[in-house]
Chain A
Amino acid sequence: MTAMDFAYILEALPDLMTGLKMTLIVSFLAIVLSCLIGLVGAVLRTSGIKPLQYAVTAYVEFIRGTPYLVQIFFIFYGLPSLGLRFSIFWSGVIALTAWASAFQIENFRAGLAAVGRGMHDASASLGLKRWQHSIFIILPLATRAALPSAMNTIVATVKNSAYLQAIGLVELTFVAVDRIAYDFRAIEMFASICVIYLICVFTISGFGYMVERRLSRPFGGR
């Protein structure tokens, strides 16, 4: 077992940073899209319109009941033969978004369920209209309730972007494995990307805790 070669890590760092950039871009797009889809899906799932409800439930159950890796392969290798061809980048974004939205729908649905029925009566007695009630009462309260689990899924989205190396997206893990194929420096490469992933995860979850703490003061304007 050879000792850790820090000079080599420094040498590989620019490459790793390019990979990290791709990881962050893909994750960011997937996080934004999946949160939007999650919100819409959760509203649809609680809308009371039966066919829509069943469709959303089936989607969530199917995504959660099948391996993510197979979903990626289906989207990247399977869909082109049906005439839907995406680049590696967009396949990655679509696969990651599809996976994360299923979890975000569940998170936001739980958030919506956490808003008590009493709120409805309260806002009706204040004379708020339906849309005012949805936007000013339900949305902030549901977001607050859904935040911890949504943050969990956001962190998992960043981690799961590593799977996209399997279709050849040049992100952090791909860069590391690619360099190992040339230089056989497995220990250095994996140590570096582990540290980078840990930093990403801790930064995001730290940010999540900060937002949570701010929101936990109900009427604190500061």
Chain B
Amino acid sequence: MLLLEFQSFLLDGLLNTLFLSSVMIAGGTFFAVIFAVGLSAQTWWLRRPVYGLVECLRDIPLMVTVLMVYFVLPHAGLSFNPFWSSALSVSVWGGANGAHIIRAGLLSVPSGQREAALSSGLRGWKGLFLVIVPQAMPVILPPYVSLVTSLTQASSLGAVLGVNELLRSAQILIEQTTIARGGSPAYLVYGAILVVYFALCWSISALGAKLERHFAKPYQRTNGKTGLAKPAVALQISTT
């Protein structure tokens, strides 16, 4: 069986995919926080450009963003290898989508909570992380988990630039075996990695659901019912 024969080769690809998508998730979260801060800045000259940038990133196809970072940045004297180039472009894209999720989540916490935090002496970062963020989590998490699965799926875009992740390994395997043995095993190999990607995204969703239950608990205890806040803005991440 072809897949078993080359399992270590495909496993290498899977490991690279896992590494690449972790970098993308971490980078995406980093940019999401930065963009979210920019979007909720008080000064318009900071807010407007960030808003424009985020909108552009959300409206331009991800494929174009990935190719653009790879082809245009060298002209500005910044040459990244395919790995970091795809990681950077997908992270920025994820950040643009994540920024709106985070902002909507923070806005969904009633302003009274902020005032209550202030009156308990929790100022600045303390108030944000001890009072606001835990309450925003039930709103942030569901769309954020789907963003994380999107980022994992987007790691396959690395193959377009030539990163040796799972999809690229599959392509190489298919090319080699087609040349060496004749008869394309493409449906088998691509079918198998579709299943692998599905399992990966499915486990991320399952983990996310667990996390959601964790953040839903305090409210269940006090209210006796679910008491989840409704998201103020419904967001749909529809790319990839």
- Could you tell me which A residues sit within 8 Å of B by CB distance? 1-2, 62, 65-71, 73-74, 77-82, 103, 149, 152-153, 155-156, 159-163, 165-166, 173, 177, 180, 186-187, 190, 193-194, 197-198, 201-202
Contacts and interface: CB of A to CB of B under 8 A. Distances in A.
B56 to A, nearest CB: 7
B63 A198 contact: no
A173 B184 contact: no
Given A73-B170, A187-B72, 5 more contacts: A1-B76, A79-B187, A81-B186, A153-B236, A194-B64
Given A78-B187, A81-B184, A194 B56 contact: yes
B186 A173 contact: no
A64 to B, nearest CB: 8
A202 B75 CA distance: 29
B77 interface: yes
A67 B197 contact: yes
Interface of B: 56, 59-64, 67-68, 71-72, 74-77, 149, 153-157, 159-160, 167, 170-171, 174, 183-191, 193-194, 197-198, 201-202, 205, 236, 238-240
B187 A68 contact: no
Contact of B159 (A69, A194, A198): A69
A190 to B, nearest CB: 4
Given A70-B193, A77-B190, A2 B61 contact: no
B186 A80 contact: yes
Q: Chain B: interface secondary structure?
A: helix
Contacts of A1: 75-77
Contacts of B205: 65
Contact of B160 (A69, A155, A161, A194): A69
A80 to B, nearest CB: 7
A160 B60 CA distance: 10
Contact of B63 (A74, A80, A165, A201): A165
Nearest to A165: B63
